[in-house]
């Protein structure tokens, strides 16, 4: 292709950005970067009745969080703006009128009642898909059936009307989809879609084609749900005489529910306990709150890597890719045709992999930030020691603190299941002896020496250490499981370990 590659992501500001929309944006971004082209964002807000305050800002913040911000957008305009369709309103009518002049569109004056009566007649006649098309338009109130003088009078009187495309009666419409191959549809199956609504705003079909042409879009990469509209869009390019610059189409497979039975929805996420939006969202009308991947602790680079594999694969066994590596590896011909099951377990796996490769300094920041929310300050040296203890045990940043909080906050309660199973006279003997040994300990209290001292204490009592080890953990951490206990002791120091043991001996003896 001799032209510069230009792709666009064109969401509507009707609510939060669904994960499927995020994937569409990502694939557009990857393709543009791979081809040395431009990634644009256009807000398609022609349906003002569905406009939701805050939705546009949500889209912007989502893409910026993920690091795939467009080069051109409403908030970073280029030379082909405006980038909101509502701000381009005046230009669309001239293109609709041009189609009327060329005989490819017409005025329609039918009322809602007349349209409903038409559908009822067709339904009664057992027509499977009642629609306004090449046959039924001959029976309706439009500029193809009314005398020219009457059409002119109706327009001059201000009577409401729409402009409809005039679909040819017998024509094969073909397009070569980059993912699905050749698609052919007979025009008899298409209806005369509305291009301009009675409020003077264009429909998606007209605005989409005009804007893509004027913005120099070379490839349209969008969801599978738009595939049925593609033949109409091909016809519009032909009607306008823009066939030579018509973009290539690629319709992405659906994101499916985890069981593969249908398209993934917000309801599925709510039911199964995972988000379907990139960021938290609060509905401005109902106040309903929906969770986001960011706030649940997903890292943007891990989330992007996960998203990229929902429908695409690199052709080998690699799974971990940086954004630059995704750009290098990406190709449209590696996108599958069939829908992809959404697997939240895989998303968590990616987050684990990325979290574990973060530098200790980054993880320390996560840890200390969480601790500060409880007004707890962790000394820097101790914070680094804690990270080495728990970094391989977590999936989300917040778990660093959750898994290690006991280091900074001595337990006041104890896991009662472990108490019932493991707290006994042998455990108390070993713990009592260990606390005394710790009082007189001198030298370096590292994990090796902490364990050696514990082993010698148990041996002196004639008790096998393995039988009481879980009780020892219980006394110091309050729990029956966790990271390497001797490393925990080394971080706490002998005085703190002895103090916690004595508290447990006193508390659990009283409980018993």
Catalytic positions, written as ranges:
266
Return the SS3 of 185: strand
Burial class of residue 443 in the structure, from the number of CB atoms within 10 Å of its CB (0-12 exposed, 13-18 middle, 19+ buried): exposed
Tokens of 382: 């101790």
CA distances (Å), origin 475, targets 211, 491, 507: 68, 16, 10
Give the 3-state secondary structure of 367-411: HHHHHHCCCCCCCHHHHHHHHHHHHHHCCCCHHHHHHHHHHHCCC
Return the SS3 of 143: coil
> 449-481 b/e with 16+ CB inside 10 Å = b?
bbbebbeebbeebebebeebbbbbbbbbbbebe
Residue for token pair 């002049």: 101
Distance of alpha carbon 100 from alpha carbon 163, whole angstroms: 8
Beta strands 38-41; 6-9: pairing state: parallel
CA proximity to 113, closest of 102, 105, 124, 121: 121
Burial class of residue 379 in the structure, from the number of CB atoms within 10 Å of its CB (0-12 exposed, 13-18 middle, 19+ buried): exposed
């Amino acid at each position: 292709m001799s032209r510069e590659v230009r792709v666009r992501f064109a969401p509507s500001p009707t609510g939060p950005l669904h994960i499927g929309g995020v994937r569409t944006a990502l694939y557009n971004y990857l393709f543009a970067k791979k081809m040395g082209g431009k990634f644009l964002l256009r807000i398609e807000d022609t349906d003002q009745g569905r406009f939701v305050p805050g939705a546009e800002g949500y889209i912007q913040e989502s893409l910026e969080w993920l690091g795939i911000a467009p080069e051109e957008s409403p908030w970073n305009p280029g030379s082909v703006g405006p980038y909101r369709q509502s701000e381009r309103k005046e230009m669309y009518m001239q293109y609709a009128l041009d189609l009327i002049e060329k005989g490819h569109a017409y005025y329609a004056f039918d009322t809602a009642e007349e349209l409903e009566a038409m559908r009822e007649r067709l339904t009664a006649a057992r027509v499977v898909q009642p629609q306004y098309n090449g046959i039924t338009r001959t029976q309706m109130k439009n500029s193809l059936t009314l005398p020219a003088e009457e059409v002119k009078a109706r327009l001059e009187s201000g009577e409401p009307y729409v402009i409809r495309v005039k679909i040819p009666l017998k024509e094969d419409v073909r397009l070569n989809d980059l993912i699905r191959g050749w698609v052919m549809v007979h025009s008899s199956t298409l209806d005369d879609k509305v291009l301009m609504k009675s409020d003077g705003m264009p429909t998606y079909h007209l605005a989409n084609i005009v804007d893509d042409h004027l913005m120099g879009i070379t490839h349209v990469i969008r969801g599978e749900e738009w595939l049925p509209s593609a033949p109409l869009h091909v016809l519009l390019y032909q009607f306008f005489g823009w066939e030579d610059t018509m973009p290539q189409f690629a319709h992405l497979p659906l994101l499916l529910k985890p069981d593969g039975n249908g398209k993934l929805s917000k309801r599925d996420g709510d039911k199964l306990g995972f988000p379907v939006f990139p960021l938290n969202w609060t509905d401005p009308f109902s106040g309903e709150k929906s969770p986001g991947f960011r706030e649940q602790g997903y890292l943007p680079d891990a989330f992007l890597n996960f998203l990229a594999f929902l429908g695409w694969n690199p052709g080998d066994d690699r799974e971990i890719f940086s954004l630059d590596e995704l750009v290098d590896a990406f190709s449209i011909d590696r996108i599958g045709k069939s829908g992809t099951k959404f697997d939240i377990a895989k998303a968590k796996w990616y987050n684990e992999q990325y979290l574990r490769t973060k530098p200790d300094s980054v993880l320390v920041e996560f840890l200390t930030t969480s601790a500060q929310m409880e007004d707890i300050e962790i000394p820097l040296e101790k914070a680094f020691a804690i990270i080495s203890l728990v970094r391989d045990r977590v999936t989300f940043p917040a778990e660093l603190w959750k898994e290690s909080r006991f280091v900074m906050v001595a337990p006041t309660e104890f896991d009662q299941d472990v108490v019932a199973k493991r707290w006994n006279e042998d455990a108390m003997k070993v713990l009592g002896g260990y606390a005394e040994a710790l009082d007189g300990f001198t030298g370096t209290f590292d994990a090796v020496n902490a364990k050696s001292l514990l082993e010698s204490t148990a041996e002196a009592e004639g008790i096998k250490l393995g039988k009481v080890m879980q009780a020892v953990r219980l006394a110091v951490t309050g729990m029956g499981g966790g990271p390497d206990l001797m490393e925990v002791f080394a971080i706490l120091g002998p005085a703190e370990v002895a103090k916690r043991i004595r508290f447990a001996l006193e508390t659990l003896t009283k409980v018993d």
